[in-house]
């Protein structure tokens, strides 16, 4: 029951009881002294009117508010034109403001003070997270400040496995021609590129052992500052490696290279290839539902598919629908049977004339190449002579259909599509075995590891997501966490997550210290980085600007009319007059009969 409904019911009950008492008193009085009927009726009427007026005093009716615009000053407003308005408020981030500007601790408070506001003009850096919900359905215009010079966007990689290649993408503001460099946790340069005309860039690196690490992106040839040198959190997940089943149509160099790739990457591999005269080599199990459920990824070349029977093909499709990943390697145009099976499985593809592609060899500096590609293995150590040497040129058939993968290689070299709970992909690269033969096993691994990570069976343990970005003092969201999930701060302090009733399945947290935090759920712990309040100011400014820009809408965009509560003073004055009249009539002798003398 709402408070308003409770007040209404109490007043109705009081009126009913008062009138019932009045009627009973009138009926029980002896005829010779019974009050006049008009007196009892007037008393009952005044009682009802007094109760109605008291209801208006306690709960003033809403009246349409006067439409008006409120100008809101935020950080970095001083160099921007301020719209002419008699109503200007400044939020705490605005700093020094002109005389006559009203200060408010947050936007919600400012709107309560100005109930007639139906439109907002935000001037400056933008609204902080605490103020965005208060906008509601109001119209909003945004006079945005220029972004600070430096790194304003940075997309940290997620779901990186040990030894996997990853890409860090971002954007600069305030720089024309510039180059940026990615440094590893030991401050060794990994990759360096020129930004494009829009200031965007992509830097690649290689993950090493499992754990939480900090890479760094820096603008070259400028003084280091929080805006020009920004930390990139990279969490290398220590997840169980995917179980791989390799099915080949014949023994060939690709089979040998893929087996070595799986061994170096620590992937549990079972394989099979025909060896002639009706025999085969390898330890792959039969293709049935039970055996395929124990695999996470199947690598199947086109000739191997053509050798499968109808029962095996059906079992393979059913397994993909249940969550299995499948990568078909088709360096030659696929057969009609394979194309039809792929189309029936949700991935219609066609190929074009063969093209050539040369992988990016990486840095031509020996130290950078060692950090970029890794130290190698015991039997194949890093070769410094590879620095500056071009890798082999490879051929592939350009694909049409499906989705491109965000990994090494041209976008039309590999295409994929979700099917049920699993994924199916097709790759057309030819003779990729030449890469490890030329000493570039790292480039071969980057190709196949990227494709495998896209298609392999999803790990159910990654249901809950740690915040992608978090900053001291700002609210961060954790979604998908179960009951009892906790966050452990770098100083050892721990606290349980509190579910946000407005966001299903998500909980909010307000970090107090910077550094690596851990989201602990059962026996699993997922690290995430909380930035200091003054760290990476360009990233914070860009996020404010983007979030505020998303709230922009015109006054004709369906903003609901705002209604304000009227003043209760006028209702109180009327109620006082009516109640005084009721009290006077009740005390007076008007309408009463005199008791006869005895």
Whether residues 292 and 250 fall in one domain: yes
pLDDT at position 559: 43
- Dihedral sign from CA coordinates of 62, 105, 153, 374: negative
Structure tokens at 339: 């194309």
**pLDDT tens, position by position, 50-96:** 899 888 888 776 544 345 889 999 999 988 888 877 889 999 999 88
Q: Which residues of 318-348 are buried (b: 16+ CB within 10 A; e: fewer)?
A: bbbeebbbbbbbbbeebeeebbebbeebbbe
Stated length of the chain: 598
Whether residues 382 and 501 fall in one domain: no
pLDDT at position 499: 74
Strands 102-103 and 88-90: parallel
pLDDT at position 563: 44
* Backbone dihedral angles phi then psi of residue 346, each to the nearest 5 degrees: 90, 10
Residue 14: give the domain boundaries: 3-61+566-587
**pLDDT tens, position by position, 246-274:** 999 889 999 999 999 998 888 899 999 98
Q: CA–CA separation, 382 vs 412, rounded Å?
A: 31
Q: CA–CA separation, 478 vs 475, rounded Å?
A: 10
Q: CA–CA separation, 284 vs 281, rounded Å?
A: 9
Residue 198 in domain: no
Q: Where are the alpha helices (DSSP H) in 94-157?
A: 107-113, 129-132
Maximum pairwise Cα distance, the chain? 138
pLDDT at position 465: 67
Alpha-carbon distance values, 154 to 199, 206, 225, 585 (Å): 12, 17, 16, 79
Whether residues 520 and 553 fall in one domain: no
Of the pLDDT bands very low, low, confident and very high (cuts 50, 70, 90), residue 561 is: very low
pLDDT at position 558: 46
Q: What is the DSSP letter of 226?
A: T
Interhelix angle for 310-321 vs 336-344, to 10°? 30
Q: Closest Cα partner for 89 from 74, 79, 68, 75?
A: 74
Whether residues 94 and 126 fall in one domain: yes
Question: Residue 476's domain is classified under what CATH number?
Answer: 2.60.40
Whether residues 490 and 574 fall in one domain: no
Beta-carbon contacts of 30 under 8 Å, excluding residues fewer than 6 positions away, are: none
Whether residues 495 and 403 fall in one domain: no
**pLDDT tens, position by position, 423-443:** 999 999 999 999 999 888 888
Tally of domains within the chain:
4
Whether residues 141 and 121 fall in one domain: yes
Rg for the chain (alpha carbons), in Å?
A: 37
Residue 395 in domain: yes
Question: Residue 368's domain is classified under what CATH number?
Answer: 3.40.50
Residue 448 in domain: yes
Whether residues 264 and 413 fall in one domain: yes
Whether residues 53 and 96 fall in one domain: no
- Dihedral sign from CA coordinates of 287, 290, 293, 295: negative
**pLDDT tens, position by position, 478-509:** 887 777 788 999 988 888 887 777 666 788 88
Residue 175 in domain: no
Domain-ending residue, one of 458, 489, 510: 458
Residue 39 predicted with pLDDT over 90: no
């Amino acid at each position: 029951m709402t408070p308003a409904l409770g007040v209404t019911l109490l007043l109705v009950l009081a009126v009913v009881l008062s009138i019932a008492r009045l009627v009973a008193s009138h009926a029980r009085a002896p005829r010779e002294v019974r009050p006049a009927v008009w007196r009892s009726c007037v008393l009952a009427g005044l009682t009802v009117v007094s109760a109605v007026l008291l209801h208006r005093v306690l709960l003033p009716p809403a009246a349409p508010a006067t439409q008006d615009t409120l100008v809101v000053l935020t950080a970095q407003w001083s160099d921007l034109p301020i719209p002419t308005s008699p109503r200007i408020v400044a939020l705490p981030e605005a700093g020094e403001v002109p005389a006559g500007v009203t200060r408010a601790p947050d936007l919600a408070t400012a709107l309560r003070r100005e109930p007639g506001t139906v439109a907002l003009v935000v001037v400056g850096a933008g609204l902080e997270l605490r103020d965005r919900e208060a906008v509601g359905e109001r119209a909003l215009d945004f006079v945005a400040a220029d972004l600070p010079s430096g790194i304003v966007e940075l997309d940290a990689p997620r779901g990186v496995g040990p030894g996997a290649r990853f890409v860090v993408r971002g954007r600069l503001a305030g720089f024309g021609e510039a180059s940026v460099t990615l440094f590893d946790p030991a401050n060794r340069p990994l990759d360096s590129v020129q930004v494009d005309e829009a200031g965007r860039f992509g830097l690649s690196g290689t993950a090493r052992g499992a754990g939480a690490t900090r890479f760094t992106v820096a603008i070259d040839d400028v003084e280091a500052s929080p805006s020009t040198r920004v930390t990139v959190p990279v969490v290398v997940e220590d997840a169980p490696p995917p179980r791989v089943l390799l099915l080949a149509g014949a023994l060939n160099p690709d089979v040998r290279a893929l087996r070595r790739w799986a061994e170096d990457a620590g992937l549990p591999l079972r394989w099979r290839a025909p060896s002639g005269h009706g025999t085969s080599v390898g330890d792959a199990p039969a293709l049935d539902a039970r055996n395929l459920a124990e695999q996470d990824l199947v690598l199947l070349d086109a000739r191997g598919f053509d050798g499968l029977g109808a029962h095996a093909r059906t079992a393979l499709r059913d397994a993909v629908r249940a969550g299995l990943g499948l990568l078909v390697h088709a360096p030659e145009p696929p057969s009609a049977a394979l194309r039809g099976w792929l189309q029936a499985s949700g991935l219609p593809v066609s190929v074009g004339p063969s093209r050539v592609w040369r992988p990016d060899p990486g840095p031509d500096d020996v130290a950078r190449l060692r950090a970029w590609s890794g130290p190698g293995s015991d039997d194949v150590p890093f070769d410094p002579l590879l620095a500056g040497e071009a890798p082999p040129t490879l051929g592939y058939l350009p694909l049409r259909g499906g989705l491109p993968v965000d990994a090494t290689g041209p976008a039309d070299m590999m295409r994929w599509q979700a099917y049920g709970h699993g994924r199916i992909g097709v790759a057309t690269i030819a003779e990729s075995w030449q890469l490890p033969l030329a000493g570039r096993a790292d480039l071969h691994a980057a190709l196949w590891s990227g494709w495998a990570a896209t298609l392999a069976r999803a790990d159910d343990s990654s249901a809950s997501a740690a915040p992608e970005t978090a900053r001291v003092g700002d609210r961060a969201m954790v979604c998908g966490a179960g009951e009892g999930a906790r966050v452990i701060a770098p100083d050892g302090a721990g606290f349980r997550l509190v579910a946000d009733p407005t966001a299903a399945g998500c909980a909010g947290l307000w970090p107090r210290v910077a550094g690596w935090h851990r989201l602990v759920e059962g026996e699993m712990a997922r690290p995430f980085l909380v930035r200091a309040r003054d760290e990476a100011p360009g990233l914070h400014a860009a996020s404010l600007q983007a979030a505020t820009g998303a709230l922009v809408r015109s006054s004709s965009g369906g903003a609901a009319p705002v209604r304000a509560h009227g003043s209760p003073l006028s209702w109180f004055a009327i109620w006082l007059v009516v109640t005084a009249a009721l009290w006077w009539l009740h005390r007076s002798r008007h309408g009463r009969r005199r008791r006869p003398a005895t």
